[in-house]
Structure 1
Amino acid sequence: MEGGVPEADISAFRECLSLSWKNPYVLRLAFSAGIGGLLFGYDTGVISGALLYIRDDFKDVDRKTWLQEAIVSTALAGAIIGAAVGGWINDRFGRKKAILIADTLFFMGSAIMASAMNPSILIVGRVFVGLGVGMASMASPLYISEASPTRVRGALVSLNGFLITGGQFLSYLINLAFTKAPGTWRWMLGVAAVPALLQFALMIMLPESPRWLFRKGREEEAKAILKRIYPPQEAEAEINTLKESVELEIKEAESSDKVSIIKMLKTKTVRRGLYAGMGLQIFQQFVGINTVMYYSPAIIQLAGFASNRTALLLSLVTSGLNAFGSILSIYFIDKTGRKKLLLFSLFGVVLSLVVLTVVFHQSSTHSPLISAVETSRFNNTCPDYSAAMNPGGWDCMKCLKASPDCGFCAYGDNKFRLVGPRRLTLLAESSQILETMSTTWSMFDIQ
C-alpha cells in the first residue's frame, strides 16, 4: 500500500485510540466495514452451540453424523464460492457494494435458518451465510486498508481480525443466553440478521474506497474522502502518491508488456511473499482451529460434560482467549513487526499441539480395554439404561445425559475404553486448556 508517512514512534494501537477524538471519521469507516468480520465470526461460531439443539429437534440430524457435518461444512463450501467471486465483484462494482451484497446474503441466510422446518432448508440457509462469509472476508479488510491512514493501517486491518474472533466469542454468549428460550437454535441462528441490517444501514451512508474511485476516474470524490481521512498537512502528499500508483497500474494494464502472473512469479521477492502469505493461511487451517471452533461444545460433551449449557459455558474460555489473542496482535503488529509476531505465534502453536498430542496419547495408552462383562456390569448401574425400552440403541451421549455421575460408556466391538468419572474430568480439563492454548496461539492475526 502507498504511504509517505514515516513509521510511528509510538504504538499504532495507542494512536488508534487517539483517533476516537482526533478523527472519529476514520474509526467510523473501519468499524462499519469491520461488522462484516463480526458477522463472519458469528456465523462460523454460532453453529457449534446451535447444533446441540438442532439434534434434539431433528432426530435425523442426531442419528446421522453426515447430516451434522453437512450443516457445518456447507457454509464453508459457500464461503469458497463467495471468496472466489468476491474479488471480481470488488473490482467491478466496488468494495462498498460487495459489502452490501454480503449483508444481504447474511440476512437471507439467517432468516432461512431461523425458519427452517427440516435439515435441508437449514443447509440452504447455511449456504447463503457461507456466500456472505466468503464475500465479507474479501471486501471488509480491503475496504478498511484502503480507507485507513498509513500510520495505523496495520492496526485497523487487524481490527477486522479482532471482530472475527469477537464475533465467535459473541456467538457463544448468544448461544448461552438462549439455552432456556423457546426455539433455542432458531434464535441463535436468527440473531445474525440484526448486525447484517445494521451494517447495511451504515454502509449506505459511507463513501466508496478512494483507491477504487481513482481507478474508475472519479478523482474528485476520492480526493474529498482522502482529505477527511488524513490531516491537512498530509492529505496532499497521500493524494499524489495514490494517484501515481493507480496511474502506473492502469498504464501497465493497458501496455503491451502486461504484468502477468507468470512474470510476477519470476520475481523472487513477489514469489517468496506469495508463498509465505498463502502458506500461512493454508497451514493455519491444519492446526485444528476450525475443528475446535465448530465443534467445541460437542468435544466438551464427549469429554464428559453432558449438559448443553455447561458445554457452552466452558467453550467461552476457548473463544474468549481466541479474541484476546487478536487484541494482542492489534497492539503489537505495528510495534514489533509482522515477522516477529508471526514467528512467536507459530512457536506457540507448535508447542501447544505437541503437548496436546502427548496428553491424548497418554490417556489412550493408559486406559484399559473393556470386555463385554465389564460393559454389562457398568451399564447395569445406570437406572435409565436398565429401564430403557431399547438399551442396545444407546450411545455415549445418552448415558452421560442420563446421569451426571456417569463417567463410563461403551458400545460396539469393545472399541471404547474405560474412563472413570474423576479421570474423565481431569482429561476434559486438560483437553480444554490445551485447546485454548492452540486456539489463542493460532489466531494471532497477522495482516
Structure 2
Amino acid sequence: MSSWAWMEGWITAAVLMGAVIGAVVIGPMSDRFGRKRLLLLSAVIFFVGALGSGLSNSAELLIISRVILGMAVGSASALVPTYLSELSPAKIRGGVSTMFQLMIMTGILLAYISNYALKGVSGNWHWMLGLATVPAALLFIGGLFLPESPRFLVRHDNEAGAREILGMINDDPNSIEAEISDIQLMAKEEKQGGLQELFGQMSRPVLIMAIGLAIFQQVMGCNTVLYFAPSIFVAVGFGASAALLAHIGIGIFNVIVTYIAMRVMDKVNRRWMLNFGAWGMGISLVLMSVGMILAENAHIGFGKYLAVIALTVYIAFFSATWGPVMWVMIGESFPLKIRGLGNSFGAAVNWAANWVVSLTFLPLLSFFGTGKIFLIYAACCFLSIWFTSKKVIETRGKTLEQIEAELLHRVHHLEEEG
C-alpha cells in the first residue's frame, strides 16, 4: 500500500475516530451540565473542525481537523436523541425524535449538491469541507434560543423551570403536573448514575438492547451501500457527472422516505418497523447481490438494472425504519439517572461499528468480490430480526417513566427466574 493510500485511509477514518471519542466523553458531561450547554459546545467544535478542514494545507493538519470535527459529530449524535426524547410529549415523541435522522439526511443531500456544484472549481475540496462552518454557526445561533430539558431541570431541583418548559409544549395543566410528579418520583428514587450503574444488573436489559441496535444498524451495510452507489450507477452506464446527479437523486429520495417515517413513527409499533425494515433490506441486498453477479459474471444486462432497483429499495427501507428508529429507541430507553451516559455509550458503539464496517469493507470486497459481499450484510439483516424479537421492548406511546418502569420490571422478572 502506498504512503498516500495509507494517509487517505487515515483521513477517511479520522471523523469516525473523533466521533467515538466525542460520544464517549459527552455523556457524563450532559448529565452534569445539561443538554443545551453541550449542544452549544458541540456547535463550537463543529465550527473549529470544519474551518480547520477547509484551511488545511497538509494531510496531517487535515487529519487533526477531521478528528475534531468527528468529536462534534459524536457529541451531537449522543446529545440530540436524548434532548428530543426528553422534551417531547409521549404521543409525538417518535416523530419529533425522527427529525434528528431527517436533518442528517437533509445535510447529506446538501453535501451532495454542494459537491456537484463545486466539482469544476479549483481547489474545490477546500470549499466542500469549509462550507460546513455555515451549519455549525447556525446550530450555535439557534441553540441559544433552545430550552433546557425539563427532566434535567427536575433532577437539578429546578421544578419551576421544568414546569415552564413543559407548559410551552403542553397546554393541559393537569397533564403537566402529572408529568412533573412522574419525573420527581423517578428522580427521588434514583441517585446520579455512573459506569457502575450503566453496566450493572439493573441496566442490563436496556444496555443489551442499545448495543444490539447500535451494532446492527451499521452491520446491515447502510454506509457501504451508499459508498458503492456511484460505482453501481457508473456500471449501469451513467457517466461520472450523471452518476453524481444520480447520487443527488438518492439523497432526495432519502429525505422523502425519512419524512414519511417521521409522520408514521407514532402510529406504528417500533419493533414492527425494525423487523419490517430488516426483512426489506435483507431481501433487497440479496437481489442486489444477484444482479451484480449476473452483470459481472454472466454479462446479463438486466443484472445492472436489478442492482440499481434493489439498491433504491434498500435505501427506502433503511431510511424509513432502522435509520431513524434506532436513534429514537436509544434516546428514550435508558433510565433518567444514566440517560446521558447511556445514550453516549450507545452512540459510541454505533460509531465504533461504523468504523469497523468501513475498515473491513475493502478487504472483504477483495476477498468475496463485488456481488457476494452484500450477502454478508443481508445475513446481518435477517439475524437482527431474532434480536429485535427477543431483546427489544416496545416503547411507542409510553412516557419515559413508563418505559423505565417496564425495564425495571423485566430486571426483577429475570432475577426471579434466575
- What is the one-letter code of the residue matched to 1:339? R
Gaps of 5+ in 1: 1-59, 368-421
Rg larger in structure: 1
Specify which of 267, 274, 294 is matched with residue 335 of structure 1.
267
Specify which of 267, 270, 287 is matched with residue 220 of structure 2.
287
**Aligned partners of 2:236, 2:198: CA distance in 1, in Å?**
52
**1:148-201 deviation digits (Å, cap 9, x = unpaired):** 122211110011111112211221112122223343222221111111111111
When residues 176 and 260 of structure 1 are mapped into structure 2, their CA distance, relative to the original with a 3 A threshold, is closer
**Aligned partners of 1:344, 1:294: CA distance in 2, in Å?**
24
Matched, 1:249 2:190: yes
**Aligned partners of 1:304, 1:121: CA distance in 2, in Å?**
38
Residue pair 2:80, 2:100 contacting (<8 A) in 1 also: yes
Q: Secondary structure at the match of 2:57?
A: coil
The ranges of structure 1 where at least 4 consecutive aligned residues each deviate by more than 4 angstroms after the TM superposition are: 298-306, 426-430
Q: Secondary structure at the match of 1:335?
A: coil
When residues 116 and 293 of structure 1 are mapped into structure 2, their CA distance, relative to the original with a 3 A threshold, is farther
When residues 81 and 298 of structure 1 are mapped into structure 2, their CA distance, relative to the original with a 3 A threshold, is farther
Q: TM-score, normalised by structure 2?
A: 0.70
Q: CA deviation at 1:98?
A: 1.5
When residues 311 and 67 of structure 1 are mapped into structure 2, their CA distance, relative to the original with a 3 A threshold, is farther
Q: CA deviation at 1:253?
A: 6.2
Task: Give 1:235's aligned residue.
Answer: 176
Task: Give 2:110's aligned residue.
Answer: 170
Residue pair 1:210, 1:226 contacting (<8 A) in 2 also: yes
Specify which of 287, 310, 325 is matched with residue 434 of structure 1.
310
Q: CA deviation at 1:438?
A: 2.1
**Aligned partners of 1:348, 1:275: CA distance in 2, in Å?**
24
Q: Secondary structure at the match of 2:148?
A: coil
- For residues 114-133 of structure 1, the aligned pairs below 5 Å read 114-133=54-73
**Aligned partners of 1:94, 1:190: CA distance in 2, in Å?**
29
Q: TM-score, normalised by structure 1?
A: 0.66
**Could you say which structure has the greater relative contact order, defined with CA pairs below 8 angstroms and 6 or more residues apart?**
2
Task: Give 1:222's aligned residue.
Answer: 162
**1:127-159 deviation digits (Å, cap 9, x = unpaired):** 111101100001111111111122211110011
- What is the one-letter code of the residue matched to 1:245? M
**Aligned partners of 2:230, 2:51: CA distance in 1, in Å?**
24
Q: Secondary structure at the match of 2:120?
A: coil
- For residues 289-304 of structure 1, the aligned pairs below 5 Å read 289-294=222-227, 296-297=229-230, 300-301=233-234
Task: Give 1:263's aligned residue.
Answer: 201
What do you get for the CA RMSD once the two structures are aligned?
2.7
Residue pair 1:356, 1:431 contacting (<8 A) in 2 also: yes
Q: CA deviation at 1:245?
A: 2.1
- For residues 346-425 of structure 1, the aligned pairs below 5 Å read 346-366=278-298
**Aligned partners of 1:76, 1:109: CA distance in 2, in Å?**
13
Residue pair 1:329, 1:341 contacting (<8 A) in 2 also: no
Q: CA deviation at 1:306?
A: 5.1
Q: CA deviation at 1:276?
A: 3.7
When residues 162 and 122 of structure 1 are mapped into structure 2, their CA distance, relative to the original with a 3 A threshold, is same
When residues 98 and 283 of structure 1 are mapped into structure 2, their CA distance, relative to the original with a 3 A threshold, is same
Gaps of 5+ in 2: 329-418
Q: CA deviation at 1:113?
A: 1.1
Q: CA deviation at 1:428?
A: 5.3
Per mean C-alpha deviation after superposition, the further-off stretch among 128-137 and 110-119 is 110-119
When residues 260 and 438 of structure 1 are mapped into structure 2, their CA distance, relative to the original with a 3 A threshold, is closer
- What is the one-letter code of the residue matched to 2:298? H
**Aligned partners of 1:71, 1:434: CA distance in 2, in Å?**
31
Q: CA deviation at 1:294?
A: 4.2
Specify which of 244, 259, 262 is matched with residue 312 of structure 1.
244
Q: CA deviation at 1:84?
A: 0.7
Q: Secondary structure at the match of 1:334?
A: coil
Specify which of 318, 323, 340 is matched with residue 255 of structure 2.
323
Q: CA deviation at 1:74?
A: 1.1
Matched, 1:84 2:24: yes
Residue pair 2:14, 2:70 contacting (<8 A) in 1 also: yes
**Aligned partners of 1:277, 1:93: CA distance in 2, in Å?**
23
Residue pair 1:103, 1:199 contacting (<8 A) in 2 also: yes
**Aligned partners of 1:337, 1:117: CA distance in 2, in Å?**
50
When residues 304 and 128 of structure 1 are mapped into structure 2, their CA distance, relative to the original with a 3 A threshold, is farther
Per mean C-alpha deviation after superposition, the further-off stretch among 176-185 and 129-138 is 176-185
Task: Give 1:402's aligned residue.
Answer: none
Q: Secondary structure at the match of 2:190?
A: helix
- What is the one-letter code of the residue matched to 2:271? K
Residue pair 2:150, 2:162 contacting (<8 A) in 1 also: yes
- What is the one-letter code of the residue matched to 1:433? I
When residues 358 and 298 of structure 1 are mapped into structure 2, their CA distance, relative to the original with a 3 A threshold, is closer
- What is the one-letter code of the residue matched to 2:318? S
Task: Give 2:349's aligned residue.
Answer: none
Sequence identity percentage: 33
Residue pair 2:288, 2:310 contacting (<8 A) in 1 also: yes
Q: Secondary structure at the match of 1:202?
A: helix
**Aligned partners of 1:292, 1:358: CA distance in 2, in Å?**
15
Q: CA deviation at 1:298?
A: 5.5
Matched, 1:186 2:119: no
- What is the one-letter code of the residue matched to 1:432? V
- The structure carrying a bigger helix percent of its residues is 2
Task: Give 1:147's aligned residue.
Answer: 87
Residue pair 2:291, 2:305 contacting (<8 A) in 1 also: no
Task: Give 1:210's aligned residue.
Answer: 150
When residues 98 and 294 of structure 1 are mapped into structure 2, their CA distance, relative to the original with a 3 A threshold, is farther
